[in-house]
Amino acid sequence: MATRKPVKRGFGQIRRLPSKRWQAFYTGPDTALHYAPTTFDAKVDAEAWLADERRLIASGTWAPLKARPTVTKSRSTTLGDYAESWLRRRELKPTTRTHYRAMLDDFILPRFGTQQISSITPLEIADWHYDLGTLTGPTYRAHTYALMRTICRSAVADDVISASPCRVPGAGRSKRVHQTEPATLPQLEAATAAMPPRLRLAVLLAAWCALRSGEIRELRRKDIDLKNGVIRVRRGITVVGGEKIIGTPKSEAGIRDVAIPPHLVPVVRAHINEHAQWGRDGLLFPSSDGTPMPSSSLAWHWEKARTAAGRPDLRFHDLRHTGAVLAAATGATLAELMARLGHSTPAAAMRYQHAARGRDAEIAARLSELANGAT
């Protein structure tokens, strides 16, 4: 079997070898080709290696692999020491860093922290992964294993170990526990009407523009372009350790311009005139003290509204799912869905396309009802 042609990218190239493993390489500032020191089980790991190399070039700290000092090649390096070094060198969002820190402290370091990383065996990892199933839920278990696998693969790239011991098939993936049923248009209308007037637009933006709660609560007058019918998503609110943090969206793709459906433009204009703070930096959804509304306040009102609409199971975040399915039902392509939702990978956006296709029979039935009515 021939090696597949490299996948063209903005930086570097990735190709799948006959062994089914992935190889990554790029042209460095010295105009020479530089290959990853190891191949990868998953394409995402090859992409992560290229991203690390690109950051080194951007920061001006890049050097050819052979000229770089490794973290250490001593067989006495512990998993705990290497994991701390790995975490310190990563550029992460506060919420992601806190999530990684918790998984390390709760489940990884207690088991492997003092053990030499070179001595950890695949069997030990398999036993640890099995035990995780009795300590936490399936999603957190998958996240924890995925973090351990990423750390070990980085150790391979840093020449600390020769091969990763994390080889449990499919352990880094989890099935969705919460199966989301999109809101119907009548349910959406009923839930919106049950909200206080100053919060009705929040429901509509979540559903029709697929915005996240943190993005909605940080919207300001300067982010709304009613002339062109666009919302400029540039910031979001997250809570880390009880502290409210305002920063950029969770990924670069989250910084985006979202077109407002024309039927919603008058509603947005009326809300701004009646409920928004004054000035370009005026919040669209301020709390009583003038700061962005806490998620708990929005959730309190939403709980009553969803019950009134007959959907006590519908979380506020599910409105974003509803908006994504509605967008997919219009025939939006995968790339268009990714851009509208602010997704950096196709996987999540594909779920909404599948959900929209799953409603095809219902759509066909309704088309027949329209045809019979017209007749």
Catalytic residue status for 26: no
Q: Where are the beta strands (DSSP E) in the chain?
A: 7-8, 13-16, 22-27, 33-35, 224-225, 230-233, 236-240, 243-247, 256-259
Q: Which of 89, 155, 153 is nearest to 116 (CA)?
A: 155
Catalytic residue status for 271: no
**Two structure tokens written together for 197:** 């007037």
Give how far Cα 214 sits from Cα of 184, 203, 275, Å. Answer: 23, 13, 18
- Residue 183, classified by CB atoms within 10 Å of its CB into exposed (0-12), middle (13-18) or buried (19+), is buried
- 172: phi then psi, degrees, rounded to nearest 5: -85, 5
Question: Of 16, 34, 129, 343, which is the active-site residue?
Answer: 343
Question: Of 68, 173, 269, 317, which is the active-site residue?
Answer: 317
Residues 6+ apart with CB under 8 A from 13: 6, 7, 24, 25, 26
Catalytic residue status for 21: no
CA contacts within 13 A on the Cβ side of 144: 26
C-alpha span between 335 and 3 (Å, rounded) = 28
C-alpha span between 37 and 66 (Å, rounded) = 10
Question: Of 143, 212, 220, 256, which is the active-site residue?
Answer: 212
Catalytic residue status for 343: yes
Q: Which of 159, 265, 149 is nearest to 208 (CA)?
A: 265
How many residues make up the chain in this entry?
Answer: 375
Q: Which of 52, 79, 262, 229 is nearest to 157 (CA)?
A: 52
Beta bridge partners of 352: none
Catalytic residue status for 35: no
Question: Of 16, 149, 311, 320, which is the active-site residue?
Answer: 320
Active site residues: 212, 317, 320, 343, 352
